[in-house]
């Protein structure tokens, strides 16, 4: 706890809810905080660090059902990218590639030219090279990390890759 207090900075934070494939981050921010919105529009976003859903592995809406109830948010299960109910077949993989690519393409509108994107993925279907290409990005580095301690029923170890993506040079 003491270490956290030493590292914590006085930053402004809030959460936007919406479909990441098409949310207008600037407009949504403007509705919440005009001053911050102006800073964001001028400086833009420098990067993203995220762990997108995995193809057909988890029903994320159900896993986080408590949050929908707690915050009184409408569930939008049909909009979920890579849901468990679609499985892991070819059609599910293609839908996943389109969904994640759409998210990245949308986010690029709000990011600086020299942005960095880091995505944690269990890419057992080797989809991220296609996702990067379809998004106009390139994978410049990959960091592999073992996942040894899991909370799901399947306790088998596996590895994840942290993909570092940047804009394709024009």
More confident: 54 or 26: 26
pLDDT tens per residue, range 77-109: 889 999 999 999 999 999 999 999 999 999 999
Looking at the domain 46-167, which fold is it? Translation Initiation Factor IF3 (3.30.110)
CA distances from 111 to 14, 66, 105, 164, 165 (A): 18, 32, 10, 15, 13
73-82, 109-118, 126-135: segment of lowest average pLDDT: 73-82
Q: How far is CA 133 from the centre of its chain?
A: 17
pLDDT tens per residue, range 153-170: 566 677 889 999 999 885
């Amino acid at each position: 706890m003491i270490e956290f207090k030493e590292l914590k900075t006085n930053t402004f934070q809030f959460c936007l809810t919406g479909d990441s494939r098409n949310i207008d981050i600037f407009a949504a921010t403007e509705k919440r905080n005009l001053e911050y919105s102006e800073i964001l529009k001028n400086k833009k976003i420098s990067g993203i660090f995220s762990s997108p859903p995995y193809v057909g592995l988890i029903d994320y809406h159900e896993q986080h059902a408590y949050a929908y109830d707690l915050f009184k948010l409408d569930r939008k299960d049909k909009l979920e990218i890579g849901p468990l109910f679609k499985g892991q077949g070819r059609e599910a993989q293609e839908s996943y590639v389109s969904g994640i690519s759409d998210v990245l393409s949308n986010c690029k509108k709000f990011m600086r030219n020299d942005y960095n994107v880091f995505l944690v993925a269990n890419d057992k279907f080797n989809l991220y090279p296609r996702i990067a290409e379809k998004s106009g990005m390139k994978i410049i580095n990959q960091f592999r990390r073992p996942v040894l301690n899991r909370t799901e029923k399947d306790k088998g170890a596996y590895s994840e890759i942290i993909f570092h993506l940047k804009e394709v040079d024009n």
